[in-house]
Amino acid sequence: MLGDTSFDDTASGDRPDRRALILVENLSVPFDRRVWQECTTLRDAGWTVHVICPRGEKRDTEPEAEIDGVRIHRYPLRAATGGPAGYLREYGSALWHTARLARKVGPVDVVHACNPPDLLFLPALWLKRRGARFVFDQHDLVPELYLSRFDRGEDLLYRAVCALERLTYRAADVVLATNESYRDVAIRRGGRRPEDVFVVRSAPQIDRFQPVPPETELKYGKPHLLCYLGVMGPQDGVDCALRALAKLRDELGRTDWHAVFVGSGDAFDAMVELSRQLGLCEQVQFTGRIPDADLVRYLSTADVCLSPDPRNPLNDVSTMNKVLEYMAMGRPIVSFDLREARVSAGDAAVYAPANDEAEFAKLIALLLDDPEKRARMGKIGQERISGQLSWRNSQASLLAAYAVACRDHTPVSAGDSVRTKKRPSR
C-alpha cells in the first residue's frame, strides 16, 4: 500500500475528500516522474488530485486526461528561445494558462507549486485568498540555476530571481526540499521555520528500472559500453563527458568501448557537433529520448555510467536523477566530486576532482579494468535505493507535510456540499 494509514488519518481521515491542485511549468505530467509519484501518493491517501502543466511534444499531448484517477489539465507552451525575452514570453503564457485552468478546477484545499520558475506563487496566492494552503515544492534553486546556466554574474536579472524566490518562500505554508542542502537554503535564505520544511527526495520508480539480460550488440563490437542518461543542457556536463572520452582514447589509448548518450535538451545539437569535432562519431551514439524499454536495455548492458555534471553553484547542492536511476539498475558510476552526489551515491560511485576531465577519464579506465569492483558498486547502489533513498520514505515525508499544511483547515468539499444544498433548483 502507498502511504501509511497513520498519515492517511492525519491528512484526510474521516473528513470529506480533500482536493489538491499541483502546478507544474517545467515538464508535462506524468512524464515528470517526481510529480507523478507525488500525485499517486496523494491519491492513495484519499486526496482528489488535479494537475495543471504544459503539453508535451510527443507524449502527454492531450489537453485533458484522467490517468489512474489523477485529473490532468494541460496547456500549449512554446519553450523559451532568444534569451531573457524568450523566457518572459514562456513564463507569461504559462501563468495565463495556469490561472485560466485553476479557475476551471475550482476550490482546492492545497495548491502545490513546483518550480522552476519561481513565479507560480502568483496563482497560488490567488488560491490562498480563496482558502487554499500553499505547498512550495522546490525542485531547483533558481538563483543558482541562473548563475550556472547563463554565466552573467549577479546582475539585475539575478537579483530579480532572488526576489521572486523570497516572495515564494514568504507565501508558502510548507516547503518541500529535494535534499538536505535545499532544506538548509529554505531555512537560512528563505527564513523558513525548520518544522515547516520537509525533505521529499526524488526516487526512481523501481518497477520502471528492472534489469534485463545484457545485449552485446548494443556495444557495437566493443568489449565495454558506457552510458549517459539525462537532460542535455548547458549546465549538465555532457561536454565534459565528451572531452573525457576523447582523453580516454587519445591519452590513455583506450578504444575498447562504445558510448551511448540517452536524452535530449537545448544543448543536444551542440553536443552532437562537439562529438564530431572531437572525432568521436564512430564510438559515441546519441539516441535522443527513447522508450523506457530501450532505456532499460542500454542500462542493463552498460559497464559504467557517467554523471559528468561539473561543480557549479547549482550542481554541487542538487540531487541528480540520473545518479539514482543508475543505482536502481545496479550500475557503477563515475562522477565529479559534488556534495550531493556523494550523499546520494556513496560508494556506488567513484569521484574525480571537480571538473577534472583527465581524472574522470582515468576513473572510467579503472572501472573498465575491474569487473569485481563494478559489481560491488552496483550492489551498493541497489541497496541504497531500496533502503534509505526509497520513495517509501519520501511518501511519509510528503504526507506529513500535507498534514502540517492542513492543520485546522476545513475541507473545501465540505463547504461545497453545504453550498450545493442551499442552491435553489431551477
**Global pTM?**
0.88
Mean pLDDT of 71-91: 84
Q: According to the model, what pLDDT value does residue 205 have?
A: 83
Q: Is the pLDDT of residue 186 over 60?
A: yes
pLDDT digit string (tens) for 19-43? 999 999 999 999 999 999 999 999 9
CA distances from 7 to 112, 201, 410 (A): 18, 18, 17
- Element holding 286 (H helix, E strand): strand 284-288
CA dist 317 and 341 (Å) reads: 8
Q: Is the pLDDT of residue 288 over 50?
A: yes
Higher-confidence residue of 282 and 419: namely 282
The cell numbers describing 385, all together, are 535505493
Q: Is the pLDDT of residue 369 over 70?
A: yes
Q: According to the model, what pLDDT value does residue 408 have?
A: 82
- With cell 495543471, the residue in question is 52
Q: Is the pLDDT of residue 2 over 70?
A: no
pLDDT digit string (tens) for 233-244? 988 999 999 999
**Inter-residue contact 246 to 213 (CB < 8 Å):** no
Q: Is the pLDDT of residue 254 over 90?
A: yes
Mean pLDDT of 8-29: 74
Q: Is the pLDDT of residue 84 over 80?
A: no
Q: According to the model, what pLDDT value does residue 281 have?
A: 95
Q: According to the model, what pLDDT value does residue 192 have?
A: 97
Q: Is the pLDDT of residue 88 over 90?
A: no
Q: What is the Cα 277 distance to its own chain's centre?
A: 31
220-224, 307-311, 315-319, 422-426: least confidently modelled range: 422-426
pLDDT digit string (tens) for 301-353? 999 999 999 999 999 999 999 999 999 999 999 999 999 999 999 999 999 99
Q: In the beta sheet, which residues pair with residue 194?
A: none
With CA atoms as reference, report the closest residue to 32 among 118, 126, 122, 112: 112
What confidence tier does 152 reach under pLDDT thresholds 50, 70, 90? confident
Q: According to the model, what pLDDT value does residue 132 have?
A: 97
CA dist 264 and 267 (Å) reads: 8
Q: According to the model, what pLDDT value does residue 417 have?
A: 39
**Mean pLDDT, all residues of the chain:** 91
- With cell 591519452, the residue in question is 251
74-78, 95-99, 180-184, 417-421: least confidently modelled range: 417-421
Q: According to the model, what pLDDT value does residue 78 have?
A: 86
Q: According to the model, what pLDDT value does residue 424 have?
A: 37
CA dist 291 and 341 (Å) reads: 26
